[in-house]
Structure 1
Amino acid sequence: MDPVNHPRLTLLTHPLVQHKLTIMRRRETSTGEFRALAREISLLMAYELTRDLPVRDVPIDTPLEPMMAPAIVGKKLCIVSILRAGDGIASGMLDLVPSARVGHIGMYRDPITKRPVEYLLKLPEDVAERLVIVVDPMLATGYSAAAALERLKAAGCANLRFACLLAAPEGVSVLARTHPDVPVYACAVDRVLDEHAYIRPGLGDAGDRLFGTK
């Protein structure tokens, strides 16, 4: 199956998203500009990811008269960041939904096996009752995302979504195989993973570019 045509994958093709992503890809883009663009794109992504939040009409008073107006109902959503780079996406989404709860899953990629190793799990107590958006800028091998989703399902989460800036076909295929029930949102699916598990053409190491560590 072509992962780009997988029914659970949504590509965010809005011109503003694509334009900002192009600037992020450029080698000469500074750390500060890269971080600001990640925040801006993340806010736009959150708009799409929350499109179907449930609402109901509630009574309010405008300055002129009473009316019934739509308001979001139920528990506020939870954004779960896969550390460390996921925080660069979570911060932009919180600009749109500042009342959202935030969880963290700390993982690093073993340089030999390319498999994730978990070192931190911190979630809201009622996370299972919320819509949970898992965020990581890059869906490369897909193993970290798959492991994070598995941990959240073990915690009782049933309403899950995964969001990233860039995906590799290999990573999308892993999520399609391991978590076919979880919608995936990406701004682009690039050509391939290289032998070091970097997305090509990609944008480099998202964590290093967000935090200026390389």
Structure 2
Amino acid sequence: MRKKLLSAFAGAALVLSLTAGCQTAPPDITSDQAAAFQSRVLAITGAVADGGYAAALEALTALETELDAAAAAGSVSFARHQRIEAAMTAVRADVQAAIDAQAVPEPEPAPIPSPAPAPKKTTAPVPEETTPAPETDAEKKAREKAEDEAEDEARKAEEEKKKAEEKAAEDAREAEEKAAEDAKKKAERDGKKPEAPAPKSAPTDAPAQAEVSPSND
């Protein structure tokens, strides 16, 4: 409806503006110039009817340029120029209003909330068996090096443990010997003298000496 009213108004306003006063003498617009303007008016009317408001504005601008040139050349009187220009200004305002109306988007209807879907029962996914990637040469060398180092550390720890046990046993033995020596010295200090050795007996093979008594003779 808006398009039809705008098209009728544009055509009527410009056509009446162009044809009015054509029968006066002298004419305020030449017939050739009026025919040229009429062609422009029809182009504007058709563009507005088809909804081509941008094209209608371009046609109006071209018509204004031709109108000014015709007035300067004397093909259009000053009074007629003013009437046509006023009509084009009114048409331009309506066309611009239609363009602005198209630029405003219509409000979208509020979305209707849909009911929440029932929760679905899901089963836990079964983990897939993965095949380990083959060991690279660098990884193999690193693993073997780590194993060798671990073995060296274990061997060193075992040797240290054995040395510690041997030293502990040696310390215990020395302590036991020292305790026995100290006990012996203490017993000697407390008065226990060592027994004297037994006297040696005379040898049995020595010659027996006979006692000789002096004679009275």
TM normalised by structure 1 equals: 0.26
- Structure with bigger strand share is 1
> Which has the bigger relative contact order, CA under 8 A and spacing at least 6?
1
Structure that is richer in helix per residue: 2
**Who wins on radius of gyration, i.e. which is larger?**
2
Give the TM-score of the pair, scaled to structure 2.
Answer: 0.26
